[in-house]
Amino acid sequence: MAKIELHNIAHSYLSNPKNESDYALKRIQYEWEDGGAYALLGPSGCGKTTLLNIISGLLIPSEGQVLYNGREVTALPPDKRNIAQVFQFPVLYDTMSVFDNLAFPLRNRGVRETDVRIRVLEVAEILDLTPFLQKKAAGLTADAKQKISLGRGLVRSDVAAILFDEPLTVIDPHLKWHLRRKLKEIHDQLRLTLIYVTHDQVEAMTFAEKVMVMYEGELVQIGTPQDLFETPQHKFVGYFIGSPGMNFLECTLHGNIARVNGTEIQLEEKTAALGGNAKGKLELGIRPMYLEVHDKAVAGGIPVTIKTIEDQGSFRIITLLLADTILRAKLPEDKPIPDKHAWVRFPPEKTRLFAGARLIR
Amino acid sequence: MGLSLQNVDKIVGRQIHLKDINIEFENGTRNIILGRTLSGKTSLLRIMAGLDKPTQGKILIDGEDFTGVSVRKRNIAMVYQQFINYPSLTVYNNIASPLKMSGVGKQEIDRRVRETAEMLRIEKLLDRLPAELSGGQQQRTAIARALVKETRLLLLDEPLVNLDYKLREELRTELQEIFSRREAIVVYTTTEPTEALMLGGNIVVIDEGRVLQTGTTPNVYHHPATLKVAEVFSDPPINYLHGVADDRCVHFGENIQVPLSAHFQNLPAGKYIIGIRSNHLFLSRRDSGDTEFKARVELSEINGSETFTHMNHGDAPLVVQDDGIYPHKIGAEISVFVNPRAMFIYDENGALVASPGTGR
Amino acid sequence: MEKWESNKAWFLVLPVFVIVAFSAIIPLMTVVNYSVQDIFGPGQRIFVGTEFFKSVLSDSRLHEALWRQFIFSGLVLLIEIPLGVLIALAMPKKGGWVSVNLVTLALPLLIPWNVIGTIWIIFTRPDIGLFGAAINGLGVAFDHTAKPLDAWITVMLMEIWHWTPLVVLLAYAGLRSIPEAYYQAAKIDGASAWAIFRYIQLPKMRGVLTIAVLLRFMDSFLIYAEPFVLTGGGPGNSTTFLSIYLVKIAVGQFDLGPAAAFSIIYFLIILLFSFLFYQALQNVGKGEKV
């Protein structure tokens, strides 16, 4: 088991970095608690794989320290760090059977063959690989191969953390559910620290207890999936999380009212109060699923025109035009939708205010 | 007229890649081919393109037989999963290449390249080389190159699968708009039901080389003709329980009883399979007509605004998709609610017998 | 449409057929002709059947040459393949030195083969050659024109210097195609450098190594120009390899019949061994366990 800490980590792939933009990772400071399930979520190029490789030891950071249980391990190679890593595509020893693949890390460490056998059988059982043990690893399906990659990490009883680098990339959608479920089961059963890197918010949010959103080398927000959804601290989090992302409207503040292009929207008192002192461009944010769509004028309703309606099976996405701004609303399957004209309402408790791209609270 | 495939088979050695394919695509339509990996989507696309010849069957374009015609003679454009661009040409030259090869005049080339680049929002990158671009930008270049030709047939083979989640969302919306402005027949393959639903249009559901169902996308979604179609076309996968009907009720699962009503009022007695989508199972009562039953929680996946609860009802695995946060403990026995009006009834062989009336 | 397309294909391949016919098939047929007939002059031919074959196969000097050839090719494979792989492993994968390394290594491959022989003659001369002078200076009386062992050593060195780069280039290409993630995973699994070599690098290089072994075996079994220029087959017969002996019979003694018979046997030997090597390497891939 391990508590992993990162102190003042920064990393540049250039030998002489001069300014901020030369750094792939900027200011990373965090403590991962023992046994937690974390996700590093962000778009391509945000630095999440770099960060993962620093944690695992495949990369030595240009600045800062990595500590495991209080011990500095910054320069230690991966095999001395008690971690395992699962990569984007299955990495297997093709010439070996499934059994030998799983046994490999143990045999390299000089474990007794009888113990190797017990452990491999245990792990194969957990991963539903027992029927395949004598088969050649090369001939199996992609999801079985990924399970073997995972298994090589689980066999080692000294493993403190398992790191995943977009492991479901090559897996079919209907098998992703099965593998995600397996990962969660493993987490609940074995209580290992799991750190999962992905650009897919569904994977991140369903897997992790705490999600860390990254953008351009920085940790933008860390919180439970619910936190990130309800109170995104940065416009980027509002946009990146949720499908579709948050709607944003430029506004000006007058007491408790936000004015958008002449229309008035009521805000919560405390939000409005803080907004008065804020610096930077003011914007309203509301998530599509909270934007209310009505077929007649209601208190606080604003007239809009409907542009398109998309049936997406269990819900519908309505694209609307409010003055010049495009908004999206997400409605459940069975709710009736007006034809062309509608009124939207912004529930004050779900409407957020951003100043200079940061959440006002 | 459009594109028509008649009795197409593709058999390689002893492997059946495609069998009995009969499809009609009208001009100006958007058509999705949905299927799992190795279901035959790419084989089908390659035959439409002319990159492969069918073992049997005909391919007609606007009534003319194009079956043996090589790909160069067909008026098609294709976009691949792997952002294929000419690595030594700039973005401008990449997009211009098909026009140059067909001998279009320089000024015309310039106009069309810039127009297409603007449509795909890469007009500022025209001087760069593909290696200097991000994944999304490279794929936009590839798409621009396919679009600039104004071909009759535009084929896309899972073009967004190697891109980031958010980028995929954005490009999908952009592509929808681009497709709607074209006369071409667009054929787009994907493994993701959600993507198929977002793109709309018409859909061909394919599995193990055979076409399972065709129709407009929402229609096929709401009325899957077989259990297999329902499985392929749902995310999370559809829940199903085995049961029997007598003259009064349908009994399924572990002692769940639902009186014959709604769309299955006149269900003949016999064995059936009951299919229920995850978002039609709830963890709380919504309506007095809901049926309640118990299941054991295996796992809760919380998505920020909704919860996927994986459960076991007897031996059958179920997934319940509910708005809201429900962090249940593993092993808890809780109540699950379903409204009978949402149930799909399939016979023992998986053919649809009754489906809910919804669906536009 | 379909028929025309396939006919067009035949037309395109026709020139190749013609060239191969002229340069290979027709000469081969001619050789077969010579091997079963004794030709004294134009118009005077006697069909002798397998007589030439029998006489050639019982020629003791042929047996010696064959034996020498096998030892030579065996040594070539034993040394060049591992050496080539080792050098490829040691070469940098990224950075400015990569191209410099590749070009430097490729240089020996570009030199005409008889020039190579000449280079090594000079190189090993005790008076003006770097190697010759150095080694004689150390007190070793090295003379490849007089002592068979020294001649062998020189021929081997020359051959290794000349052709190992080919193995290096092939092995390097094979290594470069291994994704980084494999090395990373192996590091995490605690694999030693030997384990990485055995379980990742070697299996993934199987394709290129098959090509390397086949190419080196065939080429070394046919070797002619370099040793001929260097030693002329001597001293005595010590470096008379198969092709040198063959030329001696055909051109030196003008005995076309036995030479032709022997050529055919030569061809069949190479064919057999190439086939055996190919099968062996394919099976190694099928693996130790099922």
In sign, the C-alpha dihedral spanning C276, C281, C282, C287 is: positive
Contacts of C192 in chain A (CB under 8 A): 108
Q: Residue A66 has which token pair? A: 């990595």
Q: Does pLDDT of B360 surpass 50?
A: no
Which residues on chain C are in Cβ contact (under 8 Å) with B71? none
- A99-103, B155-159, C142-146, C266-270: least confident range: C142-146
Q: Which residues in chain B touch residue A44, judged by CB atoms under 8 angstroms apart?
A: 134-136, 164, 167
- Is residue B39 over pLDDT 70? yes
Q: Other CB atoms closer than 10 Å to residue B284's CB: what's the count?
A: 12
Q: Is C290 helix (H, G, I), strand (E, B) or coil?
A: coil
Return the pLDDT at C165: 94
For chain B, give the percent of residues with pLDDT over 90. Answer: 25
H-only helix segments in chain C: 2-20, 26-36, 51-57, 60-90, 97-110, 113-123, 130-137, 148-176, 180-188, 193-196, 202-204, 206-221, 225-231, 242-247, 256-286
Query: Is the pLDDT assigned to residue C26 strictly greater than 50?
Result: yes
Report for A88-97, C134-143, C279-288: range of highest mean pLDDT? A88-97
Give A184→chain B minimum CA distance, Å: 7
Predicted confidence at residue B189, as pLDDT, reads 94
Tokens of C8: 């067009």
- In this prediction, residue A141 carries a pLDDT of 86
What residues 192-211 of chain C have any CB closer than 8 A to a CB of chain A? 192, 195, 199-200, 203-204
Q: pLDDT by residue (tens digit) across B64-122?
A: 888 878 777 788 889 988 888 998 899 999 999 888 888 888 999 999 999 889 888 88
For the entire predicted model, the pTM comes to 0.77
Q: Which of A77, A136, A153 sits opposite C187 (nearest CB)?
A: A77
| C57 close to A (CB below 8 A) | no
The pLDDT mean for chain C works out to 84
Local structure of residue B341 (DSSP, 8 states): G
Nearest to C189 among A58, A87, A152 (CB): A152
Contact A104 C200 (CB under 8 A): no
Query: Which carries the bigger pLDDT value, residue C134 or residue C7?
Result: C134
- pLDDT tens profile A184-204: 888 888 888 899 999 888 888
Distance from CA of C10 to the nearest CA of B (A): 17
Give the SS3 label for residue B330. coil
Determine the distance in angstroms separating the CA of C180 from the nearest CA of chain B, rounded to an integer: 19
Nearest CA to CA, how far is A194 from chain B (Å)? 15
**What's the pLDDT score for residue C288?**
37
Mean pLDDT (chain A, rounded): 86
The answer to whether residue C2 neighbours chain B at the CB level (below 8 Å) is: yes
pLDDT at residue A163, rounded to an integer: 92
The predicted pLDDT at position B322 comes to: 87
CA distance B68 to chain C (A): 6
The predicted-structure confidence for A139-171, as pLDDT tens digits, reads as follows 888 889 999 998 988 888 888 889 999 998 888
Mean pLDDT across C172-199? 88
CA distances from B161 to B30, B180, B347, C87 (A): 19, 21, 35, 40
pLDDT of residue C6: 61
Q: What is the pLDDT of residue C290?
A: 30
The whole-number pLDDT of residue A1 equals 58
The pLDDT, as a whole number, for residue B359 is 36
For the cut 50, the answer to whether the pLDDT of residue C210 exceeds it is yes
Which of A84, A95, A153 has the CB atom closest to C287's CB atom? A95
The Cα of B102 is separated from the nearest Cα of chain C by a number of Å equal to 22
B194 touches chain A (CB under 8 A): yes
- Write down which chains contact chain C via at least 3 CB pairs under 8 A: A, B
pLDDT of residue C286: 54
Tell me the pLDDT band of C75, cut-offs 50, 70 and 90: very high
**Which whole-number Å values give the CA distances from C142 to C118, C133, C155, C228, in the listed order?**
18, 9, 13, 19
Q: How confident is the model at residue C3 (pLDDT cuts 50, 70, 90)?
A: low
**Nearest residue on chain C to A57, judged by CA atoms?**
C188
pLDDT tens-digit series, residues C223-273: 888 888 888 887 888 888 888 888 887 777 767 788 888 888 888 888 888
Closest CA to C281 of C218, C205, C206: C206
Average pLDDT of A297-324? 84
Q: Which residues of B touch A184 (CB under 8 A)?
A: 299, 301
For residues B33 and B188, the answer to whether their CB atoms sit within 8 Å is yes
Considering only alpha carbons, which residue of chain B is nearest residue A177? B236
Contact list in A for residue B302 (CB cut-off 8 A) is 205-206, 225-226
Lowest mean pLDDT among A317-331, B15-29, C35-49, C146-160: C35-49
C-alpha C62/C-alpha A219 separation (Å) is 78
> Quick one: pLDDT band at residue C287, thresholds 50, 70, 90?
very low
**Is the bond preceding B236 in cis, omega lying within 30 degrees of 0?**
yes
